[in-house]
Structure 1
């Protein structure tokens, strides 16, 4: 009987790991479908850390946001929907009535088109719940052509979407 309970617990725990991963990789693509690299997501006690390692972006400051749909259809990536905003707040890390759960600090891309950075998304989780990055239809990460001004509604005057990556438990076939 005891062996049966141990096996049952191991199977339950194994199932939980798949449903609530502690980390995952998000492959980022440009409008031409070229891979720009990976953003590693890792559950932390204070949210989700994004470990960004990308190449092939335009030099300068760029907005990066988590969007509420897990679909990245090129060339405009509008399929990714709006910013993730489960608490119906105003947009912007600087806004007194903000920020969206999907609002993140801007990225600084070097002259060579690469960026390596770690950002924290304190209002989200990889666990189940209202602020999960893994609802049934997924979410996505979008990089914009311009910087986010941190205040302007609804998306900080960040301009065109230039890169997108889907956050999903479903395996994507290419």
Structure 2
């Protein structure tokens, strides 16, 4: 009896194996959706020299480096109001030539998403959390921007784009830019290869 069950099990396994070779391909394993255009950072670092815009006195210097799933940003921004909160974003064009920094275009948004808060399911690739100035009007920057690369030319590459500091905080909901107000500083992301 035991031998009969064993033979039936072997026959069933062979029949199943034969069914799987009928030309139909098995479905690929499910994975998290990742845009085909995402790449890998090729730059080791980048600097951003923020210059005032819209008649402000805001300026600063940022350093960027690839880290984990994105790019880490550190530095300082001064000339802000004491204790005030300001929006900061990566914008689509590395052009700060206009007096109001409008030449930098809109938020960096290669996936066509709605504006929102970084770390939530719906947001622009260039969306970051607000920064807060200390009593001297200086904001210490320590931000991780997920889902982007530095160099390499992929759709999610931020090298050569601009960082903009806004006059007001981002409300994280108003479209298309969080009701963040005037652009008070602009700097191009200059990558080091």
TM-score bracket for this pair, using the shorter chain length? 0.7 to 0.9
TM-score calculated relative to the size of structure 1: 0.78
The answer to whether 1:27 aligns with 2:27 is no
Counterpart position of 2:4: none
Give the aligned partner of residue 37 of structure 1: 60
* Larger of the two Rg values belongs to structure: 2
Q: Residue in 2 aligned with 1:57? A: 80
The alpha-carbon distance between structure 1 residues 35 and 161, as it changes in their structure 2 partners (threshold 3 A), is closer
More moved, 25-34 vs 125-134? 25-34
What is the rounded CA distance, in whole Å, between the counterparts of 1:109 and 1:70 in structure 2?
25
Distance 2:114 2:75 in 1: 26
Q: TM-score, normalised by structure 2?
A: 0.71
- 1:119 corresponds to which of 136, 143, 148: 143
Asked whether 1:167 is paired with 2:192, we answer no
Q: Gapped runs of 5+ residues in structure 2? A: 1-40
Q: In 1, distance between residues paired with 2:114 and 2:147?
A: 14
CA RMSD of aligned residues (A): 2.3
CA distance 1:70–1:34, shift in 2 (3 Å): same
**Structure 2 equivalent of residue 103 of structure 1:** 127
2:111 corresponds to 1:87 = yes
- Secondary structure of residue in 2 paired with 1:168: strand
Which of 133, 138, 161 lines up with 2:158 in the alignment? 133
Please list the CA deviations of residues 4-28 of structure 1 after superposition, one character each: whole Å capped at 9, or x if unmatched.
xxxxxxxxxxxxxxx9221111101
Structure 1 portions without partners, runs of 5+: 1-18
State the alpha-carbon separation in 2 of the partners of residues 108 and 96 from structure 1: 20
Query: Hey, what's the Cα distance between the residues in 2 that align with 1:58 and 1:28?
Result: 16
Quick check: 84-93 or 122-131, which moved more?
122-131
Q: Distance in 1 between matches of 2:174 and 2:56?
A: 30
**Shift of residue 168, structure 1, vs aligned partner:** 3.4
Counterpart of 1:154 in structure 2 is 176
